[in-house]
Amino acid sequence: MKIEETFSVNAPVDRVWEFMMDPDRMAPCVPGCSDVEVLGENKYRANVKVAVGPIKTSFKVSVELTEQNAPTYAASVTRGEEGGKASMLTANSELRLTSVNSDETEVYYLSEVSLVGRLGKFGLGMMKKKAKAIGEEFAESFRIQIETPGQ
């Protein structure tokens, strides 16, 4: 499943990059994300709670930044599993930041997601709709966090 979105924030590209590379600042922007743990340079672990249709569950995920070109590009691999390995998730993601002007940045992300197991049985349309809703919630939360003075 391919997830691709773009949104803009009122902050310079360097500030957006710094914010996005800080897991303690990013985690609260990701819907359902908690218990972020730094495992090493560019490696993190977290829990992410999700609800798809009637199923409410959480995934233990690990994220590894595999490539960085500050302040405009990052690539990562995310792997996770639902308790009891009922579902397995793998996502290869790219992040691109583009300076619109000195006070505005366009954020583009692309993820190729593979989900197998009980959540993988939901139709592609339903999963894409859920992914879009999570992306919109993330973008709004991110905007609020980064555009608030003192952040």
Cβ–Cβ < 8 Å for 80, 59: yes
Q: Taking the CB of residue 89, how many other CB atoms lie within 10 A of it?
A: 21
Does the domain spanning 2-146 belong to CATH 3.30.530.20? yes
Domain boundaries, the chain: 2-146
Distances (CA, A) of 22 to 5, 46, 83, 140: 21, 14, 27, 18
93, 95, 94, 138: which is closest to 113 by C-alpha? 93
pTM across the whole model: 0.91
| pLDDT tens column, 35-51 | 999 999 999 999 999 88
pLDDT given at position 72: 98
